[in-house]
Structure 1
């Protein structure tokens, strides 16, 4: 073993705290980098990967069973490379009066939400739309059902819906035997074809030669089948657009946390190595006196950083991969992907990059060791520059605080560089916590604004409205008369406010595709609709629309747009930008009188607020009794079901924040350990003069109070500024405008508490060194060189 190797091994073994801190800091950095990198890779094209693996359908078409036979739908079509079907399709409606309603076999959230089910013998789908089973088994026998893992019926009150019995309105039952996912969103569920004895329609799935030319392919399909047979269709481009918009939210968030973690880890590693050089000045002088060259000294101190960094990198890579497993599993649900794994090249890039950055950081710090003159290093040792910090000691001596506390408060000014490094670590920790708390609060406000579900009771509401990629086809059940239902609601005791909405599809001049128009009867301003800008409509002819619609039409608040409703054109003035995410943002909200055909349209939904003190369950029972002759059923509102995307971002925020706080605390711990070792003889003198262990702990803790206060005071505004930069970027990436409530989430008391959090980080980091200093005996401290 060479002399240099022995120096390195001795340094690593002797400075255990330094070794552990470098290892843990690197572990945290690599873990978060692997996790963040994996999610960034997963965010690049999750839908495209899943679509390719499942052989997704470029066009999902539904045909009226009364106008086309399976033979007529199986004819070759120009431009079609593969097709699957025709599959028999029917719509089923669960009943509220089935067995196990409130138990393990209870109904899924969504109550009587109808399901469009397709008859398939196996999940393979042939050359198109290979449905992936995520749980359970495929439905092989009549009476068995596989439901979509992305739908409201995939869960029961006890968790998974597998094993749950669904009672239908005709008294028959279906047993859920599995959950499955179709990247093409072709159905809400699948049953054996023999179960669909009288199909309402047939579904055929197509893949085209030119995947982007869906409109041309659809025209070719229409020309090849009987006239007016096609009743609905869905393009894969709509699904792709919605998926990409959802994924884009993650990129600014991951970049922000990635930069924070990288900078903090480099800061901690650099400070640890720099502290090791400062604390080992005398040792460096001895090494040079024994013949070590400056280059050898630099390599020795670089190696002392690289050895624990290499171990930390290995542990971090393993931890990152393990942590990525459940996170990517959640991401699969959010993205609708088939299988997401950590890309091997992500591990390689992170490992090589981490070691390279540690090497550069350690080299910069160790270079100072190589430049030290032998005589100066031996003579000075670890003694601080004479006179440094005396003014602070004199000032704190006059403060009305115990003397040990005063000595601690003055200590940072004796080592300003080290104090600055600790302050930077606390600052980044406070920034991370402030940013995380603000982001979580903003996402909560976005969830509230998205749901706008302040209604206590709803009628006819099974989901927030047509969603991007919602499956076409199916024949809805007959709906009750909306005006009659409104009259019953108004006459019901305990009703405080109510309104109803109906939807219709229109075209907009200059915009391809259709736009949903939501017509309102009654005042809906109490139900949680939030505006990005402008105001709510107050009269016919006015409307509000979300940012995606304004972007697609090239309009702003104050402009007019023309809506074409089956040949009838209506011009509306946009008076507000509303936060509304249904129908991929292509939606207009207006008064029912604006579109004369929309006021009494079938399929209306009703939203009800009850009087304060009214029991909602009793109100619903009474209202349902009055609604029974009309065939309508009221249900509790306020689902409160959080978005999977928001849950995932909150989970990642908590995980990454804890990592950053841990790194910040370790940076403080290492610096306090070095400072305590530098002052070991002073501690011995203090103890000899009567300083008790509690006073010693108070002195060491007090030495980081100023650092914690300053770091928190600067870190909190930095976190607020980071939140103010990242949140709009997340909204722009998703193509949506965010309401004011999502931005204004920081209150003064909360900011004060977050500032105190910076102080807590510093105190936590200093607690162990303070305990160690208190336990050191007086004789040992006085004998230490």
Structure 2
């Protein structure tokens, strides 16, 4: 073996602790970098990536089976501009109900023999594909909560078929709510109903005009009126991106934090490790090594553990990415993405290049020293280095209310950052980023909680949800002579339900809400109008500006409505399609991201001229103080049973799974960043402790106890941790103040102060001390090692 190889091997073997630290920190940094790089990758264009992977349909058309046959539809796959097509698939609109007695839920079922056929490849997220009749796969996005093993009853159809849920799948373009094998469709389709579904991909489909041209091409040879419904992928993408836009800035922020921290920590540890070997570099030069050989030797000594750490860090990063990517898949409503190979290659190359560059720079500086100067390092203390700080610290410690045995160790510890300011700065930077991450996560969790409350309007203790229509796929159920058709009336009289609620002794206050569709003068498309009976100001509607309406003729609207109509608080708008035109004055802006923000909230008294009853009428209740909600719900349901409606505890959409997922994701990412920061402190303190091991031996020989040694080492990072925490908290607050509005702007929202101003004294003081905690956690293992070191061993160490 060459002299250079011998120097590398002996250096790695001799400095085992240092080698272990470099390998451990490199492994952690690589894992964090893989995770951070993956977050940046999946945040780029999540819907487009999922659409490309699953070969989503650019256009989905529902055809009337009574106007076009499967044989007539099949040739449309060869129309001009069509690059791929799938179908025709038989479809039916059904209203299954779980056998347990839950209400029925309308859904669209399609018959497909397998999950993928070149267009709209379904991703099974749970379970399996049906193997034959009697089984069904539900969409992960369906209104009916998918539970494997549940049996769904399709009442009103011949034979009352019952199907077992065997799988959960996701269609990127949401082409159906459930899927069965083609042989099952006959039993789910009532005579004279049902349709066919065709899925198309076009050579060019990036604009609405191209989609329209493609539609004209595929329907040109079909009977008039054959196409009864369609869905463009542009519409689905717009809806999906509006949802994911809330989360992309958050994931990008964590990804960048992880990458920057990894670079800082690894650079700091490697530079410090090579810097502490200055005296040994002098020995190598004394035995004949040239400066170039010295540089190569120490680059090799750093690369060996770094390469091992990198090799272990990549699979560790993949393991850590599994729950995080599952969370991002849930956030984006797409299949769980994987770690892209280019992320692994970039992290490996970048980390090894970083170690090489840092080790080369440090060894090059040491290699240029004269041999005598390099040999003197470690033997002779640098004149004046930290002496002023030591004197000042001793005086300060004498004034602190500390037991006398701890005074000198505390003074020596407080002086240490001044003796090694560059190393203290690097450790402080790692702690700073950890504090920023924790502060940002705490604020983001609080803000998302406020957004979730505003989105769900879940202040109610009890909700009587709107039941679905009783009409089944075979048409309306038989009615008594003279009765109105079931499809034309609500499932229960809202006035009767409200009377029952008001008569219950446990009811505190309540209101009802129903929805109608209307058009706004001068604005294309329709707008959802939510009309309230009773005072709904307490219902959880968060105001961005203005106030809640308190009389007929007033309304509040979301930000999206104001942007689309060019109006503001104080302006009036006219709602059409509700009988006579209804003019309302906007008195407030409410936080509500649903329906693209095209909603109007107003008093039901404004809609008395409506030609039809409101749809989806729900009732929201706040119980009397001291009333048990469970007992109240049980009592109320006994009275509501004749009306065929059911009360349930909590508001609608309470406990958003999306917010829970995002909070869990942020907690995991924060723990990762805190671990990286603590390891950065550990590496710096351990190298510092090894560097001054003879000094520690002298202290022990003069009577320093293990307890005093631990106090001295921990105190050496106290100022650094406290300063980093003090600086990191305002930076974390500032990052929160930039990212949260960016999330809102991406979704076309304005946020009220209650969502942004989530920090108070109860948060800020513990967060400031969090930097001290991170520094202490990182310094504790080296402190314990220094306390256990034997005096004679320490004095012999060079």
Q: TM-score, normalised by structure 1?
A: 0.87
Find out whether 1:532 has 2:544 as its counterpart: yes
**C-alpha distance 622-203 of structure 1, shift in aligned 2 (>3 A):** farther
2-structure distance, mates of 1:508, 1:69:
36
Q: Does structure 2 conserve the Cα–Cα contact (< 8 Å) formed by 1:148 and 1:154?
A: no
Q: Which moved more, 1:127-136 or 1:240-249?
A: 127-136
1:688-746 alpha-carbon deviations (Å, 9 max, x no partner): 22222222222222222222222222222222222222222222233333343332222
- Which residue in the other structure is 1:87 paired with? 90
Find out whether 1:441 has 2:446 as its counterpart: yes
2-structure distance, mates of 1:462, 1:343:
45
- Which residue in the other structure is 1:163 paired with? 149
Q: Does structure 2 conserve the Cα–Cα contact (< 8 Å) formed by 1:72 and 1:226?
A: no
Q: Does structure 2 conserve the Cα–Cα contact (< 8 Å) formed by 1:456 and 1:636?
A: yes
1:677 to 690, 697, 701: 690
**C-alpha distance 12-235 of structure 1, shift in aligned 2 (>3 A):** same
- Which residue in the other structure is 1:695 paired with? 708
Q: CA deviation at 1:193?
A: 0.7
1:1-38 alpha-carbon deviations (Å, 9 max, x no partner): 33233222333333333323332333223222222333
Q: Does structure 2 conserve the Cα–Cα contact (< 8 Å) formed by 1:697 and 1:771?
A: yes
2-structure distance, mates of 1:216, 1:593:
45
Q: Does structure 2 conserve the Cα–Cα contact (< 8 Å) formed by 1:269 and 1:362?
A: no
SS in 1 for 2:625: coil
Find out whether 1:428 has 2:433 as its counterpart: yes
**C-alpha distance 33-418 of structure 1, shift in aligned 2 (>3 A):** closer
1-structure distance, mates of 2:444, 2:126:
33
1:477-528 alpha-carbon deviations (Å, 9 max, x no partner): 9532323322332223221111122222233455443322222222212121
Q: CA deviation at 1:764?
A: 1.6
1:510-556 alpha-carbon deviations (Å, 9 max, x no partner): 54433222222222121211123332233334333333333334444
1-structure distance, mates of 2:131, 2:755:
48
SS in 2 for 1:480: coil
1-structure distance, mates of 2:615, 2:708:
78
2-structure distance, mates of 1:270, 1:278:
12
- Which residue in the other structure is 2:616 paired with? 603
1:447-485 alpha-carbon deviations (Å, 9 max, x no partner): 22222212222223479xxxxxxxxxx989953232332
SS in 2 for 1:387: coil
- Which residue in the other structure is 1:148 paired with? 139
1-structure distance, mates of 2:692, 2:267:
22
Find out whether 1:727 has 2:732 as its counterpart: no
Q: How does 1:451-462 map to 2 (within 5 A)?
A: 451-461=456-466
Q: Does structure 1 conserve the Cα–Cα contact (< 8 Å) formed by 2:36 and 2:259?
A: no
Find out whether 1:381 has 2:373 as its counterpart: no
1:599-622 alpha-carbon deviations (Å, 9 max, x no partner): 942431221222122233433344
**C-alpha distance 89-238 of structure 1, shift in aligned 2 (>3 A):** same
RMSD: 3.4
Q: Does structure 1 conserve the Cα–Cα contact (< 8 Å) formed by 2:32 and 2:317?
A: yes
Find out whether 1:112 has 2:103 as its counterpart: yes
**C-alpha distance 74-13 of structure 1, shift in aligned 2 (>3 A):** same
Q: Which moved more, 1:730-739 or 1:68-77?
A: 68-77
1-structure distance, mates of 2:381, 2:190:
91
Q: What are structure 2's unaligned runs of at least 5 residues?
A: 469-485
- Which residue in the other structure is 1:470 paired with? none
Find out whether 1:274 has 2:274 as its counterpart: no
**C-alpha distance 225-483 of structure 1, shift in aligned 2 (>3 A):** farther
Q: CA deviation at 1:54?
A: 4.4
Q: TM-score, normalised by structure 2?
A: 0.86
Q: Does structure 2 conserve the Cα–Cα contact (< 8 Å) formed by 1:60 and 1:203?
A: no
Q: Does structure 1 conserve the Cα–Cα contact (< 8 Å) formed by 2:463 and 2:621?
A: yes
How many pairs are equivalent? 757
- Which residue in the other structure is 2:592 paired with? 580
Q: How does 1:247-646 map to 2 (within 5 A)?
A: 247-338=244-335, 340-381=337-378, 383-397=380-394, 398-400=398-400, 401=402, 402-403=406-407, 404-461=409-466, 478-509=490-521, 511-565=523-577, 569-597=581-609, 600-638=613-651, 642-646=655-659
Q: Does structure 2 conserve the Cα–Cα contact (< 8 Å) formed by 1:145 and 1:178?
A: yes
**C-alpha distance 40-270 of structure 1, shift in aligned 2 (>3 A):** closer
1-structure distance, mates of 2:218, 2:776:
70
**C-alpha distance 541-56 of structure 1, shift in aligned 2 (>3 A):** farther
- Which residue in the other structure is 2:766 paired with? 753
Q: What are structure 1's unaligned runs of at least 5 residues?
A: 102-110, 156-160, 464-473
Find out whether 1:12 has 2:12 as its counterpart: yes
**C-alpha distance 622-662 of structure 1, shift in aligned 2 (>3 A):** closer
Q: CA deviation at 1:225?
A: 7.4
